[in-house]
């Protein structure tokens, strides 16, 4: 479609004699967050490096805002911001010095550099650290500076590789909020191995496994890819595990808290009715029961290893 900011056509890359990726096709719209999933060695990093112009592909084409990366890389890269897994920070520069340097690398005109740096600092919440050396910032603020360098030239596509890796819970929440803010007026590719992070942030998913796209759709479709195999249950008067295992179809019981449980079943369609009936009969005082469709790890496992599907 014409409004896409990124279009990948039949992209393949070979290292020596083995193919890292093969016939990758992908299209991403102008705004929002797209999650890029893939296990180690799946081809995810190779794809991101080619998209950002850091690696020349063996076959296929990448278009950034309609510009072919191979034919006009300088123009294509003007619309890309990239934060690698290890932020490319210069520890002995201040935040201002570093962002001005990055703006210069992006060929920003001198008369626009000051306002661009100020805007990036404000959006990333590091304006009050302008004169501080980057080495004296906390891990969370260093990551914010890394994101600031990725958006300082106002790109239309921002690629973030594991941006919450190594951060504490509070820092993760802050960076997550920042990414949502950035995605309001541009496209963001969010790469992560933490599936719960992708579930919270992304509306669309692209999953690469063994060098090929194995899933490309919305998060809702991803969550519903497999039939739920467990139910979440709240019992005011829960029995011991052995009593629950007596219910026909129940295969495993996991106590999440004293009264909240995850009950696994073997595909029986009327499992909820059986649990409700058992609760009434035995006085377990059922307060809540729902199908568990948030087990992204199970979906990831099935998509990564298609032969494991039933």
Per-residue pLDDT tens over the stretch 5-23:
999 999 999 998 899 999 9
Q: Which CATH architecture has domain 6-223?
A: 3-Layer(aba) Sandwich (3.40)
**Nearest-angstrom CA–CA distance, 30 and 2:** 10
| Statement: 230-292 belongs to CATH 3.30.70.100 | yes
Q: Mean pLDDT over all residues of the chain?
A: 89
d(CA 237, CA 156): 54
pLDDT tens digit string along 115-158?
Answer: 999 999 999 999 999 999 999 999 899 999 999 999 999 999 99
Give the pLDDT confidence score for residue 1 in this predicted structure.
44
Say which residue the tokens 């029995």 belong to: 239
> Residue 232 contacts by C-beta under 8 Å, 6 or more apart in sequence?
256, 260, 261, 262, 288, 289, 290, 291, 292
- For residue 72, what are its two tokens? 């006009």
Give CA–CA dist 114/104, Å, rounded: 11
Task: Provide the pLDDT for residue 238.
Answer: 94
| β-bridge mates for residue 265, sequence order | 250
The helix (run of H) or strand (run of E) holding residue 118 is: helix 110-124
* pLDDT bucket at 291, cuts 50 / 70 / 90: confident
Report how far apart, in Å, the C-alpha atoms of 310 and of each of 226, 227, 266 are: 10, 11, 11
- Whole-number Å distance between alpha carbons of 177 and 174: 5
pTM of the model: 0.75
Residue 31: how many other CB atoms lie within 10 Å: 14
pLDDT tens profile 151-166: 999 999 999 998 888 8
48-52, 172-176, 269-273, 285-289: range with lowest mean pLDDT? 269-273
**How many whole angstroms separate alpha carbon 310 and alpha carbon 225?**
13
Per-domain residue ranges for the chain?
6-223, 230-292
- Predicted pLDDT of residue 309: 45
For the segment 244-267, what is each residue's pLDDT rounded down to a tens digit?
A: 999 999 999 989 888 999 898 886
Q: How far is CA 294 from CA 221, 228, 232, in A?
A: 12, 9, 10
pLDDT digits over 67-106, tens only?
999 999 999 999 999 998 888 999 999 999 999 999 999 9
């Amino acid at each position: 479609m014409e409004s896409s900011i990124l279009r990948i056509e039949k992209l393949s890359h070979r290292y020596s004699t083995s193919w890292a990726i093969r016939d990758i096709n992908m299209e991403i719209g102008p705004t929002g967050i797209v999650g890029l999933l893939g296990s180690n060695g799946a081809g995810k990093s190779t794809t991101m490096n080619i998209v950002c112009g850091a690696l020349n592909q063996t076959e296929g084409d990448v278009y950034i805002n309609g510009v072919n990366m191979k034919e006009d890389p300088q123009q294509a890269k003007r619309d890309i911001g990239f934060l690698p897994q290890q932020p490319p920070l210069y520890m002995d520069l201040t935040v201002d010095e570093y962002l001005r340097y990055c703006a210069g690398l992006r060929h920003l005109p001198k008369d626009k550099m000051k306002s661009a740096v100020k805007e990036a600092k404000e959006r990333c919440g590091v304006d009050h650290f302008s004169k501080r050396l980057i080495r004296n910032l906390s891990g969370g603020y260093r990551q914010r500076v890394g994101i600031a360098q990725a958006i300082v030239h106002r790109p239309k596509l921002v690629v973030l590789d594991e941006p919450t890796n190594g951060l504490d819970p509070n820092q993760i929440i802050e960076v997550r909020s920042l990414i949502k803010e950035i995605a309001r007026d541009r496209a963001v590719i969010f790469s992560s191995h933490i599936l719960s992070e992708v579930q919270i942030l992304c509306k669309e998913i692209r999953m690469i496994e063994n060098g090929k796209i194995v899933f490309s759709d919305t998060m809702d479709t991803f969550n519903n890819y497999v039939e739920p195999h467990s139910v979440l249950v709240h019992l005011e008067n829960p029995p011991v595990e052995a009593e629950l295992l007596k219910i026909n179809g129940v295969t495993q019981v996991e106590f999440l808290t004293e009264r909240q449980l995850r009950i696994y079943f073997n595909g029986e369609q009327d499992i909820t009715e059986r649990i409700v009936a058992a609760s009434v009969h035995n006085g377990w005082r059922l307060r809540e029961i729902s199908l568990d469709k948030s087990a992204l790890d199970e979906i990831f496992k099935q998509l990564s290893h298609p032969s494991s599907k039933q």
